[in-house]
Amino acid sequence: MKKRIGLLTSGGDCQALNATMRGVVKGLSNSLDDLEVYGFDDGYKGLIYGKYRMLTSKDFSGILTQGGTILGTSRQPFKLMRVPDEKGLDKVEAMKQTYYKLCLDCLVILGGNGTQKTANLLREEGLNIIHLPKTIDNDIWGTDMTFGFQSAVNIATNAIDCIHTTAASHGRVFIVEVMGHKVGSLTLHAGLAGGADIILIPEIPYDIKKVVDAIKRRAKAGKRFTILAVAEGAISKEEAQLSKKKYKEKLAERAKKYPSVSYEIADKIQKETGNEVRITVPGHTQRGGEPCPYDRVLSTRIGAGAAEAILDEEYGIMVGIVNGKIKRVPLAECAGKLKMVSPKDQTVKAAKRIGISFGD
């Protein structure tokens, strides 16, 4: 049996993209006599403009522990996919023509929510598509875990761990700003693992007075410091009441005065308590470095699961993990859905039980 498959990585990079592609190719090469693999450069951009190269087994050797992506990536917003480029090129039609030109049996797409929506669009256009769920936010509906998440948790947790010693030494309030604009899973898990005293996430709007009260309670109890884990998309209760338009205006105003939400929160805390507040932003380090062992195993399983689906010729799916088992989820069911942190989540309840404040 002969198979021709395409691979592309789209959206933000993360650890374990290479490990996942390796799982796909190794899973196929061990079962097929004839396999051709085409890698598209820089995500959907490579598919649109026909920039690709044939890959061999050597390309997938030694990349299990390598972060980033050997194919490169780019952000191609889903809302612009139906909009012609500056030269009038129909992007969707161009992607289809590249697919048919190479006579692909399947296109394997690794990416997050926006990537998944475009993958579903291509499925609707008649292409054989398999999506593999990548994101450090763990916000893809239909899978319990995304590859890249646990590696990012490790890095964000290490940042909080490192802050503990300096915060204790100086008796300061420290804010560690963790990635996550819409979903707070990364901040929640890193904050809990790192022993943060206050965790602020987008799904649970905060009251700055309650945040300040939590800091004061710690000081009254003889605690020399307080550590806040704040998601970059943290939102106050007042902001949560605004319309989408008004909230965007508020963000624009904030950007004139503060680099991010953490600086605004720090300013308010400092005025209310008189305490020195310091801010640490790990930033893109959370996406970088080698994948942790958990992600290497998860990626290998998801990659092997994709290979099995290709051999079964079952397409139009996302390969995820549910209750510890690899599962094929129809793209039509999961594309466009965001997996949020519920305020009633058991992890949130456990954090509150041990005294962590969410400012609510």
Just list the catalytic residues: 137
Q: How far is CA 165 from the centre of its chain?
A: 29
* Pairwise CA distance, residues 139 & 340, whole Å: 6
Helix (H) or strand (E) holding 134: none
* Pairwise CA distance, residues 227 & 214, whole Å: 11
Residues in a beta bridge with 277: 173
**What are 138's two structure tokens?**
């763990």
Residues in a beta bridge with 55: 37
Instruction: Write the Ramachandran bin of 327: left for phi over 0, alpha for psi from -120 to 50, otherwise beta.
Output: beta
* Pairwise CA distance, residues 237 & 250, whole Å: 13
Residues in a beta bridge with 177: 230
- Contact at 8 Å (CB) between 338 and 113? yes
Query: Given strand 106-111, what is the order of strands in its sheet?
Result: 52-55, 34-40, 2-9, 106-111, 129-133, 317-322, 325-330
- Contact at 8 Å (CB) between 174 and 278? yes
- Contact at 8 Å (CB) between 180 and 326? no
Handedness of CA 329, 333, 335, 341 (dihedral sign): negative
- Give the CA count within 13 Å in the CB-facing half-sphere of 272: 16
* Pairwise CA distance, residues 205 & 358, whole Å: 8
Query: Given strand 226-231, what is the order of strands in its sheet?
Result: 198-200, 226-231, 173-178, 277-280
Residues in a beta bridge with 38: 6, 54
Residues in a beta bridge with 77: none
